[in-house]
Amino acid sequence: MRIGVFDSGIGGLTVFAALDRAVPEHDLIYLGDTARVPYGTRSPRTVRRYALRVASYLHAQGADALVIACNTATAHALPTLRQAASLLNIPVRGVIEPGVQAALTAHRQGAIGIFATEGTIAGGTYQDALRRERPDLQIFPVACPLLVPLAEEGWTHGAVPRQVVEHYVGHLRETLDTAILGCTHYPLLRDTIAEVLPDVTLVDSAQATAEAIRRDLGPLVAGRGSRTYIVTDHVARFQTVGERFLGHRPEPVIAVDLPPAVSPFLELKGDSADEEMCS
Ligand code: DGL
């Protein structure tokens, strides 16, 4: 298969790295929408528009399956993309369902934290998915926006990130038993989050998504697929910062200007659902 994986920018490389290990035999195309990052502070409608355009481009590149490697884009655009892509028989996976399933397996007493961008928290998709499965859960959603620039800066260990993590989630130390790292960047801060919340099981949506896709695709087949990296801006920064997320320097990287989306990925009429806009 040729799997198109996309994110607002660099962070989705944590999902891509996990996929690289989980489905080595398939071709993987990564698209980082670095011209439009961040998605985490944008309105749901804007994120949907960006996601439709990226999906349309990946389909034109021959993708026959799509992975939304961005939590915010999954929160705002998964149903829209699934609806559009179903007309082409293209399956679409997001990172939220697998993260939720992993948390439901991991938790002990039903006190689950969700750490994510403002947009993901405001969209409520993680909360709704958890409650659908287990209405009795206690859910603690926390937007942790400063963790994204810290991860990109490579400032993931030491006093400053520890203080930031303490500020966001320290008050939940005695409350949570499990927390979902519901943003592509947070796995890089896993050690620091674990220092602040030593008795909390941390669930990595990136890893859970790769495992779910492996199950979707059936048993491992011998061989090695191709790896392609595409960005919409600033190749050099993507390579330098991306190395920390991917574990090796992404290359080669192609820069593209995304053309307007084409059917069936056109913006849906009446899509004005930005009521859940983050403040
Ligand atoms: N990739 C985004 C996410 O997982 C984080 C970065 C952004 O805000 O675009 O939600």
Tell me the domain boundaries of the chain: 2-94+218-278, 96-206
pLDDT given at position 268: 60
Directed axis angle between helix 13-22 and helix 235-246, to 10°?
50
**Count of CB atoms situated within 10 Å of the CB of 105:** 11
Q: Which atom number of ligand 1 is nearest to the Cα of residue 41?
A: 8
Mean pLDDT of 260-271: 80
Q: Catalytic one among 13, 75, 183, 230?
A: 183
32 lines ligand 1 (CB under 6 A): no
Q: Is the pLDDT of residue 47 over 90?
A: yes
Which residue minimizes the CA distance to atom 8 of ligand 1? 40
pLDDT at 207: 93
144 given a catalytic annotation: no
Mark whether 70 is an active-site residue.
yes
Give Cα 207 to chain centroid, integer Å.
Answer: 11
The Cβ-side half-sphere exposure at 174, using a 13 Å CA radius, reads 1
The answer to whether residues 244 and 154 touch, using CB atoms and an 8 Å cutoff, is: yes
* Cβ partners under 8 Å of residue 7, min gap 6: 13, 15, 30, 31, 32, 33, 68, 69, 70, 73, 184
Q: Name the band, by pLDDT with cuts 50, 70 and 90, for residue 272.
A: very low
Q: Rounded CA gap, 113 and 81, in Å?
A: 27
pLDDT at 82: 98
221 CA distance to ligand 1 middle (Å): 32
Out of 13-17, 181-185, 223-227, 268-272, least confident range = 268-272
Cβ atoms of 40 and 183 within 8 Å: the answer is: yes
pLDDT at 240 over 50: yes
Same fold, 2-94+218-278 and 96-206: yes
Ligand 1 centroid to 43 CA: how many Å?
A: 13
Residues 104-109, mean pLDDT to the nearest whole number = 94
**Which candidate, 224, 272, 279, 208, places its Cα nearest to that of 48?**
272
> Does any ligand 1 atom lie closer than 6 A to the CB of residue 117?
yes
Is any ligand 1 atom within 6 A of the Cβ of residue 204? no
Tell me the three state secondary structure of residue 145: coil
For ligand 1, atom 7, name the residue with the nearest CA. 38
Residue 52 — pLDDT band, cuts 50, 70, 90? very high
Decide whether any atom of ligand 1 lies within 6 Å of the 71 Cβ: yes
Please pick, among 70, 77, 176, 241, the residue that the annotation labels catalytic.
70
- The mean per-residue pLDDT over the stretch 245-259 comes to 96
The whole-number pLDDT of residue 90 equals 98
Fold of 96-206: Rossmann fold (3.40.50)
Res 271: pLDDT: 52
Q: Is the beta carbon of 22 within 6 A of some atom in ligand 1? A: no
**How much is the pLDDT for 270?**
53
Average pLDDT over residues 55-74: 98
Find out whether the beta carbon of 38 lies less than 6 Å from any atom of ligand 1. Answer: yes
Report the top-level CATH class of 2-94+218-278.
alpha beta
DSSP letter for each residue of 68-119: E--HHHHHHHHHHHHHHHHTTT--EE-SHHHHHHHHHHH-SSSEEEEEE-HH
Q: What is the model's pLDDT at position 267? A: 72
Q: Is the CB of 118 under 6 A from ligand 1?
A: no
Give the number of the atom of ligand 1 that is nearest the alpha carbon of residue 72. 10
